[in-house]
Structure 1
Amino acid sequence: MSKKEIDYLDIQKIMSMLPHRYPFLLVDRVEELVPGEHIKAFKNITMNEPFFQGHFPGLPVMPGVLIIEALAQAGGMIVLSIDGIDVDDKVFLFTGIDKVKFRRPVVPGDKLELNVTKIRSKMSIWKMKCVATVDGEIAAQGEVSAAIVDRESL
């Protein structure tokens, strides 16, 4: 993909970019993507999510760490969409999480909007500003650092 803005990616295209699969693929749709710069994506939250069995019985709340993971997966797509990066040979791994705040619970029926913007990158390390919202309200926000690495090195 080029630096050109992409308007929409369906689940098939998302799965061609990210290595994650059920039950850990946390991006359902991408509505805006500027490779190397910004993404606006969504995760639809349903009662069928496997984590609701234990978090919490009778009071389903999406774990905050999974909201951050959804943001990181979206952030990985920013990097993996850059021309010349072979998604079959590379993987995007956390190196740090900073300034994270959780502002509201995310529950079944919510549409989690994932907005991730590059702050900076140097060599293979990327730092991104992440904001997850539901109906315009901030659910979680923070900064994520990650590195793009060769799959063979793992």
Structure 2
Amino acid sequence: MIDVVQIQKILPHRFPFLLVDRVTDLTPNETLVGYKNVTIGEQIFEGHFPGHPIYPGVMILEGMAQAGGILAFQSMDMTEEEAAQKVVYFMSIDGAKFRSPVRPGDRLEYRMSVVKHKGSIWVLKGEAYVDDTLVSEAELKAMIVDK
């Protein structure tokens, strides 16, 4: 298990843009399962939408991207210091689908898997679930580069 303090050693993101609270399962070069607790206290709900809060699809995709970044970094043989000198740039997001709205109180579970990895390029399949219901999916392509 990787908690939020450890996640902050892997990813440069911080509140309010750190969108992975915990990683519960990780097999390097294969899969990652992690989650974000969606709460009404998040700033995004002030405008999306007042009286009818819906977690934005682009935020779900960003959470997948962050989870994918954790999977890639944890799959590479690097020290914390070396990882701190790298950053993940997303190159494309393909086949994004949003199947069901995500609301405050939901636990958004990211399930990431490596489709292909060659050099600094990673292709990942991302799925997001709430209570075992698929709410979103996409294929993400990223490159890990020096800062």
Q: TM-score, normalised by structure 1?
A: 0.91
2:128 maps to 132
Task: Find 1:14's aligned residue among 2, 7, 11.
Answer: 7
**Aligned sequence identity (%):** 47
* CA displacement at 1:125 relative to structure 2: 1.1
* CA displacement at 1:79 relative to structure 2: 1.1
* CA displacement at 1:84 relative to structure 2: 2.2
1:92 maps to 88
Unmatched runs of 5 consecutive residues or more in structure 1: 1-7
2:106 maps to 110
- In structure 1, distance between residues paired with 2:89 and 2:40: 28
Counterpart residue type for residue 77 of structure 1: I
* CA displacement at 1:117 relative to structure 2: 0.2
1:59 maps to 52
Q: CA RMSD in A?
A: 0.9
Flag as ranges the 4+ runs of structure 1 deviating above 6 A.
Answer: none
* CA displacement at 1:64 relative to structure 2: 0.2
- In structure 1, distance between residues paired with 2:91 and 2:8: 23
- In structure 2, distance between residues paired with 1:54 and 1:93: 28
* CA displacement at 1:87 relative to structure 2: 1.6
Task: Find 1:71's aligned residue among 64, 75, 90.
Answer: 64
How many pairs does the alignment contain? 144
1:3 maps to none
Unmatched runs of 5 consecutive residues or more in structure 2: none
- In structure 2, distance between residues paired with 1:83 and 1:123: 13
Counterpart residue type for residue 101 of structure 2: P
